[in-house]
Amino acid sequence: MNEEKDVLDPGPFFHGTKAKLNIGDLLEAQHQSNYQDKKSNYIYFTSTLNAAKWGAELAASQSQERIYIVEPLGEFENDPNVTDKRFPGNPTRSYRSKSPLKIVAELRSWERHSDEEINHMVASIKKLTEEGKNVIYD
């Protein structure tokens, strides 16, 4: 009898960034984080467009915001930075993996959060940083 593993989330999966990437490229751990001055032990992604938009909008770069549709190539887990630390459960359907993500498409058209929402989020992150609370458990 063939035992199938429980699927954590069927997707589709998104990765928001400001990096210019190509279809077929692999996103891998141990590269510079989009949000802090360090290499990340994981690659982060989501199943909600809203969370992917935040990823693109808040990434540290002046480049164009992009959202890619990605395929996880290995096991992944709930992102404890949002599930354990900020929200019960996983309402943002946010995940992380040590295995690569393959870019299968770029989402070319999507509506950004308003400038007011983005500015509010940036101010909130700045305040957390000043208080020493902007920690990514990586």
Q: Is residue 33 domain-resident?
A: yes
Q: Is residue 94 domain-resident?
A: yes
Q: Beta-carbon neighbour count of residue 13 at 10 Å?
A: 22
Beta bridge partners of 105: 69
Q: Kindly tell me if the per-residue pLDDT of 4 is higher than 50.
A: no
Q: Is residue 137 domain-resident?
A: no
Residues 12 and 47 sit within 8 Å (Cβ to Cβ) = yes
Cis before 80? omega within 30: no
DSSP strand pairing (94-97 vs 66-72): unpaired
Tell me how far apart the alpha carbons of residues 39 and 106 are, in angstroms, rounded to a whole number.
Answer: 24
Q: Is residue 138 domain-resident?
A: no
Q: Is residue 92 domain-resident?
A: yes
Q: Is residue 6 domain-resident?
A: no
Mean pLDDT along residues 58-75: 92
Q: Is residue 101 domain-resident?
A: yes
Write out the residue range of the structural domain in which residue 94 sits: 13-130
Q: Is residue 109 domain-resident?
A: yes
Task: Give one DSSP letter per residue of 59-80, joined into a string.
Answer: SSSSSPPEEEEEEE-S--EE-H
Q: Kindly tell me if the per-residue pLDDT of 20 is higher than 90.
A: yes
Residues 66 and 106 sit within 8 Å (Cβ to Cβ) = yes
pLDDT digits (tens, 9 = 90+) for 75-116: 999 988 776 556 667 888 999 999 999 999 999 999 999 999
Q: How many domains does the chain have?
A: 1
